[in-house]
Chain A
């Protein structure tokens, strides 16, 4: 593997110019090439997953700058652990697992620091975890676009109030559209547990989004 002093020579721009549809190289092959020192291969992996990972972490943490930082940390870890990567699972499962662990770790740090807004702070009836929730604005809006934006913001805030164990499977299922099997592998739990948690998460959201349903 080349040393990191030559990282500047990475072909990120070159990789971005390529059409993803034309690229038939699998994620495994790209990571294998990264392991042998092919930095273009790593750049290709970054270009494939950066938006997905950033978006996923953003949905988890509800903090864009923090999500970008954690997404970069995810890729750094992938790069550093390229030698130890095993092909037993799909690369997407592998990178999502890293991202999930980082996001959950960040949420726990926040909880320790008590970085919770004082507005709308209340305790859940289900568990003792503190949640943040801003109730929807019931005033009539004239523009449909504004309504949609407001609704998306509301659901994002509502997701942010979910306990982390319900938040991750709900986002992976309803936002990213992943299968139960893949979610179970990412979260390292059983499929039944995933289904149960998603059902509970939707139940919470239904209660909070009554005004929009």
Chain B
């Protein structure tokens, strides 16, 4: 009798239902193996004891208790349902309120930011735009007289003149404002007569002005000076005068 055979037989005995007939092989083995026979007897006895426990009856008021429990459960469920409904509604209202205030804050911030940008741009424009050169009283008088004669001739911004030749540039943030220039070509230049000169203590031009080059310094509207130097023109006897300072250095009259 091998041990593995006993194990197999005991497993088969173990798996049988109580009262179920054993197979012929098991019966034959049990006749020959006392240990397995003892196991089978104890196992059967144990299962009989366990099986004798039987079914315990539910109490007589089981149904009424269950009924009241179901009713309580239903009330609790409906309370929970109501609570959840209220919670959901409250949450929805809170979310909507938050969204509304968020939107208001965003709009306010955006508007404030925009207006500050515009203000800064204006200030920048005022700072960069050069001041219109002040005119002398004579020039002003002449200009007023001219404008009263010909009202169509007025200060025309160059911008409108340049419209036809405007170049299309790629979109860039405008950093500097457009410099406005005025066309004064139609205005007459002031006439400086000798009488005016006599009123002044000093001559308008120095005596040796003819020997110096004429230098005109112009501002290009961006604060950069441009100097134009014109060579001196001499006539007749002037040529006898020394011509050493005909080209004076820049800035020296």
- Looking at chain A's contact residues, the main secondary structure is helix
Q: Are A212 and B49 closer than 8 Å at their CB atoms?
A: yes
Map CB proximity to A onto B45-84 as digits: 1 under 8 Å, 0 otherwise. 1110111111111110011111101110111010000000
Q: Which residues of chain A from 1 to 42 have any CB-CB distance to chain B below 8 Å in the complex?
A: 3-5, 7-8, 10, 12-13, 16
Q: How far is the CA of A140 from the CA of B245 in the complex (A)?
A: 153
Q: Is the CB of A175 within 8 A of B56?
A: no
Residue A97 CB within 8 A of the other chain: no
Q: Are A195 and B15 in contact (CB under 8 A)?
A: yes
> Which of A113-121, A124-132, A147-155 faces chain B?
A147-155
**Cβ of B18 to closest chain A Cβ, rounded Å:** 7
The yes or no answer to B17 lying at the interface (CB within 8 A) is yes
Q: Are A4 and B75 in contact (CB under 8 A)?
A: yes
Residues of B within 8 A of A4 (CB): 70-71, 73-75, 77
Residues of B within 8 A of A152 (CB): 49, 52-53
Once the chains are docked, how many angstroms separate the CA of A198 from the CA of B15? 9
In contact, B42 and A72 (Cβ under 8 angstroms): no
Among B53, B56, B65, B69, point to the contact of A155 (Cβ < 8 A).
B53
Query: Are the CB atoms of A72 and B56 closer together than 8 Å?
Result: no
* B65:A72 contact, CB within 8 angstroms: yes
B55 adjacent to A202 (CB under 8 Å)? no
Residues in B neighbouring A93, C-beta threshold 8 A: none
Interface residues on A, range: 35 or more
Closest-CB distance, B37 to chain A (whole angstroms): 14
Query: Are the CB atoms of B73 and A64 closer together than 8 Å?
Result: no
> Looking across the interface, which residue of chain B has its beta carbon closest to that of A71?
B58
Q: CB-CB < 8 A to B65: which residues of A?
A: 68, 72
Instruction: Check if B11 is an interface residue, CB within 8 A of chain A.
Output: yes
Return the contact of A199 from the options B11, B54, B57 (Cβ within 8 A): B11
Report A-chain residues with C-beta under 8 Å of the C-beta of B73: 4, 76, 80
Kindly report which residue of chain B lies nearest to residue A170, judged by CB atoms: B50
Interface: A187 (CB within 8 A): no
Interface residues of A in 99-151 (CB under 8 A from B): 148, 151
Q: How far is the CB of B101 from chain A (nearest CB, A)?
A: 41
**CB-nearest residue of chain A to B42:** A213
A-facing residues in B208-225 (Cβ within 8 Å): none
Chain A residues in contact with chain B, CB under 8 A?
3-5, 7-8, 10, 12-13, 16, 43, 46-47, 50-52, 54-55, 58-59, 64, 67-68, 71-73, 75-76, 79-80, 148, 151-152, 155-156, 159, 170, 174-175, 177, 180, 195, 198-199, 202, 205-206, 209, 212-213
Closest 10 CB pairs of A and B: A4-B74, A12-B63, A55-B56, A54-B58, A174-B50, A55-B55, A50-B58, A7-B70, A213-B42, A7-B71
Interface residues of B (CB under 8 A from A): 11, 14-15, 17-18, 42-43, 45-47, 49-59, 62-67, 69-71, 73-75, 77
What are 18 A-B contacts with C-beta separation under 8 Å? A4-B71, A4-B73, A5-B74, A12-B64, A50-B63, A54-B56, A59-B53, A68-B62, A79-B70, A151-B49, A152-B49, A152-B52, A175-B51, A177-B18, A202-B14, A206-B42, A209-B46, A212-B45
